[in-house]
């Protein structure tokens, strides 16, 4: 379960940002998680709940913005958002596709209470 190490790294960032902005509590953390990011959102949520105990983010909510993946056909240039893993262009049938979006794992937003 590498989600725990992802959350540990996230907390390094959260604590550094809280210190830099003199926050007394982190109230919300929003992540963008692509379908091909390699992490399981439910496991991220579980790891976050475990990791936040006893920290400045103890009462924080984790919001996960789940993103499907988007591919572009190199043959006909068609772009399509996918939720399945059938990697063939629906327009021309080519399998020469590039992933445009969906591998992201991005910290989008931190909300905090300041002094």
Determine the average pLDDT of the residues in 24-49. Answer: 95
- Cβ burial 21-33 (10 Å sphere, 16+ → b, else e): eebeebeebebbb
pLDDT at 24 over 70: yes
> Which tokens in the block code for residue 115?
């002094």
Task: Quick: pLDDT tens for 57-91.
Answer: 999 999 999 999 999 999 999 999 987 777 789 89
Q: Which domain holds residue 18?
A: 3-68+102-114
Q: Count up the domains in the chain and report the number.
A: 1
pLDDT band at 1 (very low <50, low <70, confident <90, very high): low
- The answer to whether position 77 is within a domain reads no
Element (H, E) at 34: strand 23-34
CA distance linking residue 84 with residue 74, whole number of Å: 19
**How far is residue 30 from each of residues 6, 7, 71, measured CA to CA in Å?**
14, 12, 25
* Mean pLDDT within 84-111: 91
Query: Which CATH number characterizes residue 19's domain?
Result: 3.30.2320.50
């Amino acid at each position: 379960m590498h989600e725990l190490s992802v959350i540990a790294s996230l907390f390094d960032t959260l604590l550094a940002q809280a210190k830099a902005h003199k926050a007394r509590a982190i109230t919300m953390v929003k992540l963008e998680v692509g379908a091909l990011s390699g992490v399981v959102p439910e496991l991220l949520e579980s790891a976050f709940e475990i990791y936040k105990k006893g920290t400045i983010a103890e009462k924080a909510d984790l919001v996960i913005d789940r993103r499907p993946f988007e591919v572009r056909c190199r043959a006909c240039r068609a772009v399509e958002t996918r939720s399945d893993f059938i990697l063939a262009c629906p327009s021309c049938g080519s399998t020469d596709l590039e992933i445009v979006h969906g591998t992201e794992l991005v910290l989008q937003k931190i909300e905090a209470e300041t002094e």
